[in-house]
Structure 1
């Protein structure tokens, strides 16, 4: 018989899931609003995609330092600071007078999101120490991630069509205020041996990820041989090498090489990057295809994703019941194979019989994502030391968000430079989206192979859930 959650556990799970939903929605709802934003600001594709990547890049670049900070100052304290910053930045997004101001406000949102993401999974680990309870909490957490991303386009469509695109940011403000008030009732926890800051590693990470993303955008705009693209890729390579050297030399690296030396943990990060750079990244361009090529309204475009949303939630719930009996590598490899199969079906249907033809492929991909999310979250916790759980969850979020950011940029490089939203060729855009879907399919398959090679001994449920976290109940 399942042990029921305590009042504190239920409150922690509710606050974490609301925060996670808000963070993931702020990636997904923007997709449906991009055509409206382009119309108001007369923005081309590169400026629009920075609305997505400004957020995800800031999140990916800073979440490791945010995880270490959460372990040091307290996970609840980091959560509250992140929630406050995210709420204020959301208001700035809603008030943005131009595309440049919107991009900057999205970066600020990403900084707040880094603190929230890094502390959320750590708060769950502190509240749910029993293996059975933790697996159920992770199932809810994983379902929230997947369902939020999938339902985001529909919610964004409703808000955009009824109230205008600025409403997608306005709704964060009251939700953020309520979340801050509720989070004050969560017990505090922190690491017994917190890490110090890694400023040089942090700087190298920011430069490297930003330069690589910019290089992909420039390659899409001006061609792969363009000087600006080559310089950006060169800077990214130098920054990446510098980051690796720094992490080997500093006493307390933001990304400890020893953690990635454990194959199950490293494999989980590769799998997370693969699903983010494939399924979640291609959402941006599929949504634009639904509105800019097929002529769907924002609400109708969001409805295309609804069956997949339901399938994702159901798959996550079923996974919760079998995760302790089926090896993690089996579940994750099957999940990524399903994502690849769904993307292949979508690629074959793109440009054919309209939006309805895309639904079966999206449905299959979402089943895979529903299985994937709770399992990979469990592996991250089970394969890391509980005292560094904030850092471990931060690492996983780096790979999740950098996968989205780099996936959006890289897949965008195969699309025509002249946006279909501002008069570009529909036929060229359809060809580009189809190519992007096939590339995404290949990325998911590579992720499945990485799981089989590296995660044969991975655990999704810890043998003995960590209990050595330092708790300071301030209620």
Structure 2
């Protein structure tokens, strides 16, 4: 078999492992909360610890790969990710788990940064690369399709720890193929690592997410939150200043003068900050509100994931025939419509209320994933493909990290306001009780929190808490749809075929 196919297999398997881990973790979060006695904030950090380190380091990993060797960095990423997965499985408490998830992000950054570049260097631009990207997109579709099902089955039968153990043998086998079959490549004009830029960018992201996660607890006008937001903004401004002035920036700002380059980054951010970030809240709704098991939740995700899998290869074939902006706009619009249809949940609804939205959103994701993957590395010179892939993955992961935090803040804030209104005249409407009740309904420990209230008021308080959950859920789903619609408009406006190498 030709080397290019071995490369595609290795990259696809690694991507499969990474995405499987993300989708599997979503389904397992309620079980993790129960076993490790985690809070709602802990659950947010299980996702954000991974996404933040990946987003902060993927550009650096891309630069290192162009300089030290893409195969070498890819292999190191596999090794770190597999070892961190083992640590996740052995976690005795939420803090240990989240630190291990952050280490996973380091390995994930190395793999994500070079995966598309490794494929692009082996497949010529045009129809051949379009087919390869279609197959790569199919891998994404398969991972998304089977992830919730595998995660649910493993969590129900062997415990949530098994979802992390699964990465160890997959990572080891992929590492063998990487050393045996992949070709090493470098950029002869590779730049040095922009460490000041890395520090400013990662610091800004961390402080922003920390402020968003802690805002409802501390108060949005508190000194702590305002200081965190101000420091985050200052560091981001410093990052932009650094990137304009250093001779070898990790994120060359002139690239954003290319409309197609900017458009594809916004498309990646749009879908990640909406649908992918909202998977956490969809899972909490199905498991902690409807009472479904992890495996039952995985089954209910099949419509969105299977449709995504079926549409991905179609998008790959259309890449050479249909303008990329049309595919991006149509796909993002479909995801936005799907999310809109998932909103408006009432207390008597079943999971089938989500079904039309699942199907339409799944079609949209299937359309845009291969297009984003192809355009991301086709709007820059080939020797910069590693950096371009890293920038695109940064926007994806920043979208997830910021999305999870923003939706969490809105979800709890809106839900708390509804609890305060619905529970007026009971102790549940006072002080921090509304906040605590929404988080309890989200985390699956509402019964424990209700024990602190007088028996005669518990039924009313429980109803208020569940109403607050639904109010917050509907709010974030509707807002997520607006983000996708905005992304669709920007993609159609910015992306032009003349900027894309075919």
Same fold (TM over 0.5): yes
Contact 1:159 1:167 in 2 (8 A): yes
Separation in structure 2 between the aligned mates of residue 119 and residue 201 of structure 1, nearest angstrom: 20
C-alpha distance after superposition, 1:254-284 (max 9, x if no partner): 0000112211101100110000000100001
Separation in structure 2 between the aligned mates of residue 227 and residue 344 of structure 1, nearest angstrom: 36
User: Does the alignment pair 1:399 with 2:400?
Assistant: no
For 1:80, what is the secondary structure of its paired residue?
helix
- More off after superposition, 213-222 vs 42-51: 213-222
User: Does the alignment pair 1:348 with 2:388?
Assistant: no
Separation in structure 2 between the aligned mates of residue 290 and residue 339 of structure 1, nearest angstrom: 20
Separation in structure 2 between the aligned mates of residue 188 and residue 338 of structure 1, nearest angstrom: 39
Number of positions where the alignment pairs a residue of Structure 1 with one of Structure 2: 457
Separation in structure 1 between the aligned mates of residue 225 and residue 389 of structure 2, nearest angstrom: 32
Separation in structure 2 between the aligned mates of residue 207 and residue 404 of structure 1, nearest angstrom: 17
1:60 corresponds to? 55
Bigger Rg over Cα: 2
Separation in structure 2 between the aligned mates of residue 157 and residue 387 of structure 1, nearest angstrom: 42
Alignment of 1:117-136 (within 5 A): 117-136=112-131
1:376 corresponds to? 372
Alignment of 1:46-445 (within 5 A): 46-184=41-179, 185-349=181-345, 351-416=347-412, 417-418=435-436, 419=439, 420=441, 421-423=444-446, 425-445=465-485
Contact 2:345 2:470 in 1 (8 A): no
1:466 corresponds to? none
Change (3 A) 1:458 1:334: farther
- More off after superposition, 146-155 vs 364-373: 146-155
C-alpha distance after superposition, 1:103-132 (max 9, x if no partner): 000000000000000111110011112421
Pairwise CA distance, 1:197: 0.7
Change (3 A) 1:352 1:315: farther
- More off after superposition, 328-337 vs 416-425: 416-425
Pairwise CA distance, 1:351: 4.4
For 2:411, what is the secondary structure of its paired residue?
coil
> TM-score normalized by structure 2?
0.89
Change (3 A) 1:27 1:200: same
For 2:185, what is the secondary structure of its paired residue?
strand
**Structure 1 residue runs without a partner (length 5+):** 1-5, 464-475
Q: Which has the higher helix share?
A: 2
Pairwise CA distance, 1:187: 1.1
- More off after superposition, 373-382 vs 56-65: 373-382
2:496 corresponds to? 456
Pairwise CA distance, 1:145: 2.5
Separation in structure 2 between the aligned mates of residue 215 and residue 176 of structure 1, nearest angstrom: 35
Contact 1:350 1:358 in 2 (8 A): no
Pairwise CA distance, 1:22: 1.0
C-alpha distance after superposition, 1:287-322 (max 9, x if no partner): 011000000000011111112211111111111222
C-alpha distance after superposition, 1:66-107 (max 9, x if no partner): 001011111100010000011110111111111100000000
- More off after superposition, 439-448 vs 419-428: 419-428
> TM-score normalized by structure 1?
0.94
Pairwise CA distance, 1:144: 2.2
Of 5, 19, 26, 1:10 maps to 5
For 2:3, what is the secondary structure of its paired residue?
helix
C-alpha distance after superposition, 1:199-225 (max 9, x if no partner): 100000110110111111012334422
